[in-house]
Structure 1
Amino acid sequence: MSNKAPNNGWWRGGVIYQIYPRSFQDSNGDGIGDLPGITQRLDHIAALGADGIWISPFFKSPMKDFGYDVSDYNDVDPMFGTLDDFRALVARAHVLGLKVMIDQVLSHCSDQHPWFVESRSSRDNPKADWFVWADPRDDGNPPNNWLSIFGGSAWQWDTRRCQYYLHNFLTSQPDLNFHHPAVQDALLDTVKFWLDLGVDGYRLDTVNFFFHDAQLRDNPGRGAPDRSNPDPAVNPFNPYGWQRHVYDKSRPENLPFLQRLRALLDQYPDTTMVGEIGDDDGLARVAEYTAGGDKLHMAYCFDLLGEAHDAPFLHGFLTRFNTIVGDGWPCWALSNHDVVRSATRWGGPNPDPRLLRLAAAFQASLRGTVCLYQGEELGLPEAELRYEDLQDPYGITMWPEFKGRDGCRTPMPWSGDAPHAGFTTGDRPWLPVAEAHRALAVDRQAGAPDSMLSFFTHLLHWRRQQVALREGRLTLLPAHPQVLAFIRQHDTQTLLCVFNFSDQVAKLALPEDWRSATVLDGSGLPGARLEGDCVRCEPYGGLFLHRT
């Protein structure tokens, strides 16, 4: 296949639902979620109004980083099921009209992968240069100052080769050497394997980490990081954030490889890729990696995954986005498996349901693709865990100042009264179910007209009918201390979206050409009304106006 396959662009303006498979649904009672469990629950996602799913890694792995350390790219880990289970999942998803995206971890693999086992065996084996090896400095120290996201040096000494190998994450996650053409070819073969099985796209983990500086130059320092930085790698308790990551990631050599990857996906109809970007200047990378229509289809960075969420911050961020990214296509997430859940991060220990509804409507109104993390539709807060219950190596290492990522990874609550909230019939789930989540379980919210689940479902189905929200341009109104407002404009529909991100009543004076507009009903977002030439917003209220 040399010609491009057709692409219907389902992902542009679509809604992607992220599934963390360990925590979604356990079908066999071992306390760990699995592929058959996901298949059982696909109806919930389809009814919600999603267009596709993204499944976090389920490949064979020793699970030191819960699947982000792959030991076989072309098989399912037995704890999650089999390749036949995956085929059944894809078939059922497609029957329900859901696309299936999977999480591809290309920058590194497990130290138990046969490639690394061979590479570390000697300095002259066929895969000796498939990973990033380097001699020590004269004093025995690592070759440069690069740091691991999980703390300490990014270099691990290996006694077999008497060299260091690079690991941007755990020591058990050696980085592949993308400067070696055979490595690129082998990884592209693994991508093709799953495309041939029917997947509709990929979420690419750490997409800007593929290449390193071949000269291994030191990163420059920058001092203590800003505590408000949303990137989970840049927290004040982690030395990683004290460097400017000029040489260990986001290298220009990334772009030709992304073009090779895109050329492969373009041979399969209606496929897409979204890249995760953790960078000192995430917006610049989003622009670079989505420009030209020959690299990533979409990308996301961490700017909306921090605590800042007031109207001036959001206005400033969207202003920078429009300036830097331009026509690049973003994927907007407010939560994922790496950060504190948005209900707690934005709403504190007792989040106001009105704020959660407003945040959902805001996310659904941005130009781009929406990515929802499992449980967001229920308004789940971050779970509090004891140290004894932690599984995340990041949290175990950084405890107690940084508790890691387990609090957003606890099991999905399906039934408020069932043991382990219906996640498993086993004696013990891999992480405990948060008791606070029981009252928010799916069965407690389903059919309740005032529930968060009902609001989300209503909002997403309503959004599908608004072409301006799915495809339109975005123009910001002037900054306001409480209210974020912007226009979404399409050839056949123009909307004014108004969101009061404060806990006080706010008024927004309408632009003159919007003073004859009317409220567009149906979104379900409460708390605002027209009042003369103004919009009056109650705390955390908002509305949509349209011109007829």
Structure 2
Amino acid sequence: MLTAQKGDPNWWRGAVIYQVYPRSFQDTTGDGIGDIRGITERLPHIASLGVDGIWLSPFFTSPMADMGYDVADYCNVDPMFGTLADFDAMMAECERLGLKVIIDQVISHTSDQHPWFIESRSSRSNPRSDWYIWADPKPDGTAPNNWLSIFGGPGWEWDGVRKQYYMHNFLASQPDLNFHNPDVQDAMLATVKFWLERGVHGFRLDTVNYYFHDRQLRDNPPMVYDPHSTGLETDTNPYSMQHHLYDKSQPENIEFLKRLRALLDEYDCRTTVGEVGDGDRSLTTLAIYTSGNDKLHMCYTFDLLSPRFTAEHIRSVVSKCQEIVTNGWVCWAFSNHDVVRHVTRFMEHAGEREAVAKIAISVLSTLRGSICLYQGEELGLPEAELAFEDLRDPYGIRFWPAFKGRDGCRTPMVWDVDKPLAGFSEGNKAWLPVPAEHQALAVNGQENVESSVLNHYRRTLAFRKAHPVLLDGDMTFLDTTTDLLAFVREKAGERLLFVFNLTRAPQDFALPAAMAGATPQPMPGYDPPVEDGVVKLAALDVFCARL
């Protein structure tokens, strides 16, 4: 077991974190499901990218109704993934390779198989009777209020033993904990301490703004949409038809986050990254949760996890973030285990898959903040097309075919272009299919191709690391007359200009007079010509210069 870490306490600031989805990374037992030993086996690949650490999606004991986000034991490894000894061995290998380890901490809710909930539902008078959110029905027997579940239907489930409803933001088998009870907070902090003592470097906090609910159980008002808005559609999932004023993002959360931060501050070099899903309030919530150096270290939102890959959208999101998040910190990402892979979201046709994959990481690596990469994006993997009978995601099964769920981005990692199941497993079948299109893009097929997406990622992340200004330097956008994304990064005397042409047509960028003496500093894979002070950018091209 590892003990307290030494080193740079701000290592997370500007860090590059690689997300591993354990059941889809590497199987070493032949059961078609990835495991912790498989992660350990493949750590050299992750280290070769030049990242600073890994984020592990849940591996805790669970009935797996929601792929491990329904936890039944916070302090153990599910046998599907291995043992605590396997985890410790993985930690030791990460330390050898210089990789930090962040684990997913899912504390807003548990599984209905957790001993706490089994006790809580047994009566109204047991010691844990109010560890979850219980409420009496209305006189007509209906739910206490209009709150909805993200996974469809009411956010309440009737329990015949207690003759009450309990709240669940997700599946009915994922009851929400009552954080208004200080004993619940203490119990959760004890699980965090367990993993801190085991040497983990930090926590990705699932649904971090969902911990508290309105004590009065007031109804959420309807969401009022601007007819000209390009925001979320409301006709697939009714959850987005409500303005979620009362079932999440409550003010009491601030004090709990301070308690959590105080615990982490007892250990060296630890960090937290919160997941904030809060509609158009997300950046404001992020700013509150990361301000003051006494709550979360950083958060990410869903703002860049949209289908929009335009200069206007990126400039708008990042500018708004800089305006609102004045003394906090953001973690940017284009993909994760909950959204369609960004290559598919961003490309206009299959023929530009590789070009889109390359320019996406080039953009991401130059933004001010930390960044997360999702396994497989370094190969330029598109979203997998799956049949309904192959789905395992309850979210997708519930809303099919309008919404196909999250399984398309969770298919197994592809390692070998020739082996069955692309080298993911030596078994006969993987838990999700391995698309032939993915296998053709496997790691060993790209490893020795200089121009591959994989090697572009390595060179781009090396470029980011070679220029500390990209980690936390100031970022100033330039006005452009075309759909170009242009900004300057500046710190300690180093000034770099970046211009991204995210359109599918050539564009000219006239260097401002004050930048006439700029010295081209090409980003990996890009070197557009400059003629008489005008940068001649091809489609999906990048210009970089030292000022």
Same fold, TM exceeding 0.5? yes
Once residues 141 and 234 of structure 2 are traced to their aligned partners in structure 1, the CA distance between those partners, rounded to angstroms, is 29
1:133 equivalenced with 2:140 (yes/no): no
Cα distance per residue 1:3-48 (max 9 Å; x no partner):
9997531111111000000000001111000000000000000011
Secondary structure, counterpart of 1:75 in structure 2: strand
* Shift in Å, 1:492: 3.3
1:183 equivalenced with 2:184 (yes/no): yes
Cα distance per residue 1:283-337 (max 9 Å; x no partner):
1111111111111111000010010111112222222111111232110110000
Corresponding residue for residue 407 of structure 2? 406
1:207 equivalenced with 2:192 (yes/no): no
- Segment drifting more, 482-491 vs 110-119: 482-491
Once residues 203 and 450 of structure 2 are traced to their aligned partners in structure 1, the CA distance between those partners, rounded to angstroms, is 35
Does the Cα contact within 8 Å between 2:5 and 2:199 map onto a contact in 1? no
1:505 equivalenced with 2:501 (yes/no): no
Does the Cα contact within 8 Å between 1:273 and 1:297 map onto a contact in 2? yes
Corresponding residue for residue 314 of structure 2? 314
1:336 equivalenced with 2:365 (yes/no): no
Q: Report matched runs for 1:144-159 at 5 Å.
A: 144-159=145-160
Q: Report matched runs for 1:250-399 at 5 Å.
A: 250-280=249-279, 281-348=281-348, 350=350, 351-399=352-400
Once residues 225 and 157 of structure 1 are traced to their aligned partners in structure 2, the CA distance between those partners, rounded to angstroms, is 36
Does the Cα contact within 8 Å between 1:130 and 1:180 map onto a contact in 2? yes
Does the Cα contact within 8 Å between 1:343 and 1:356 map onto a contact in 2? yes
Cα distance per residue 1:394-438 (max 9 Å; x no partner):
000100010000000000000011000000001110000011101
Once residues 6 and 426 of structure 2 are traced to their aligned partners in structure 1, the CA distance between those partners, rounded to angstroms, is 44
Corresponding residue for residue 28 of structure 2? 27
1:174 equivalenced with 2:182 (yes/no): no
Secondary structure, counterpart of 2:496 in structure 1: strand
Once residues 199 and 329 of structure 1 are traced to their aligned partners in structure 2, the CA distance between those partners, rounded to angstroms, is 21
Secondary structure, counterpart of 2:529 in structure 1: strand
Corresponding residue for residue 42 of structure 2? 41
> What stretches of structure 2 of length at least 5 have no aligned partner?
none
Once residues 121 and 264 of structure 1 are traced to their aligned partners in structure 2, the CA distance between those partners, rounded to angstroms, is 32
Does the Cα contact within 8 Å between 2:111 and 2:175 map onto a contact in 1? yes
Cα root mean square deviation, aligned: 1.6
Corresponding residue for residue 249 of structure 1? 248
Once residues 303 and 27 of structure 1 are traced to their aligned partners in structure 2, the CA distance between those partners, rounded to angstroms, is 36
Alignment coverage as a number of residue pairs: 541
Q: Report matched runs for 1:420-431 at 5 Å.
A: 420-431=421-432
Cα distance per residue 1:507-547 (max 9 Å; x no partner):
122222211001113x3132523222222210000021102
* Shift in Å, 1:229: 3.6
Once residues 149 and 225 of structure 1 are traced to their aligned partners in structure 2, the CA distance between those partners, rounded to angstroms, is 22
Once residues 332 and 285 of structure 1 are traced to their aligned partners in structure 2, the CA distance between those partners, rounded to angstroms, is 15
Evaluate the alpha carbon distance shift between residue 458 and residue 7 of structure 1 in structure 2; reply closer, same or farther with a 3 A threshold: closer
Q: Report matched runs for 1:77-96 at 5 Å.
A: 77-96=78-97
Once residues 482 and 240 of structure 2 are traced to their aligned partners in structure 1, the CA distance between those partners, rounded to angstroms, is 30
Once residues 481 and 394 of structure 2 are traced to their aligned partners in structure 1, the CA distance between those partners, rounded to angstroms, is 42
Cα distance per residue 1:231-258 (max 9 Å; x no partner):
xxx7630000000000000011111100
* Shift in Å, 1:481: 3.3
Does the Cα contact within 8 Å between 2:353 and 2:380 map onto a contact in 1? no
TM-score with structure 1 setting the length: 0.96
Secondary structure, counterpart of 1:535 in structure 2: strand
* Shift in Å, 1:480: 4.2
Evaluate the alpha carbon distance shift between residue 309 and residue 75 of structure 1 in structure 2; reply closer, same or farther with a 3 A threshold: same
Evaluate the alpha carbon distance shift between residue 236 and residue 325 of structure 1 in structure 2; reply closer, same or farther with a 3 A threshold: farther
Once residues 180 and 80 of structure 1 are traced to their aligned partners in structure 2, the CA distance between those partners, rounded to angstroms, is 32
- Segment drifting more, 414-423 vs 325-334: 325-334
Once residues 323 and 30 of structure 2 are traced to their aligned partners in structure 1, the CA distance between those partners, rounded to angstroms, is 51
Does the Cα contact within 8 Å between 1:473 and 1:490 map onto a contact in 2? yes
Query: For residue 457 of structure 1, what is the amino acid of its counterpart?
Result: R
Secondary structure, counterpart of 1:286 in structure 2: helix
Secondary structure, counterpart of 2:365 in structure 1: helix
Secondary structure, counterpart of 1:213 in structure 2: coil
Once residues 83 and 348 of structure 1 are traced to their aligned partners in structure 2, the CA distance between those partners, rounded to angstroms, is 45
Once residues 329 and 224 of structure 1 are traced to their aligned partners in structure 2, the CA distance between those partners, rounded to angstroms, is 29
Does the Cα contact within 8 Å between 1:357 and 1:455 map onto a contact in 2? yes
Q: Sequence identity of aligned pairs in percent?
A: 55
> What stretches of structure 1 of length at least 5 have no aligned partner?
none
Does the Cα contact within 8 Å between 1:527 and 1:539 map onto a contact in 2? no
* Shift in Å, 1:122: 0.2
Corresponding residue for residue 529 of structure 1? 529
Cα distance per residue 1:72-97 (max 9 Å; x no partner):
00000000000000000000001000
1:53 equivalenced with 2:54 (yes/no): yes
Secondary structure, counterpart of 1:306 in structure 2: coil
TM-score with structure 2 setting the length: 0.97
Corresponding residue for residue 66 of structure 1? 67
Once residues 254 and 519 of structure 2 are traced to their aligned partners in structure 1, the CA distance between those partners, rounded to angstroms, is 46
Evaluate the alpha carbon distance shift between residue 6 and residue 36 of structure 1 in structure 2; reply closer, same or farther with a 3 A threshold: closer
Once residues 510 and 143 of structure 2 are traced to their aligned partners in structure 1, the CA distance between those partners, rounded to angstroms, is 60
Once residues 536 and 283 of structure 2 are traced to their aligned partners in structure 1, the CA distance between those partners, rounded to angstroms, is 33
Corresponding residue for residue 415 of structure 1? 416
Query: For residue 275 of structure 1, what is the amino acid of its counterpart?
Result: G
Evaluate the alpha carbon distance shift between residue 45 and residue 375 of structure 1 in structure 2; reply closer, same or farther with a 3 A threshold: same
Cα distance per residue 1:143-201 (max 9 Å; x no partner):
10000000110000000100000000000000000000000000000000001001000
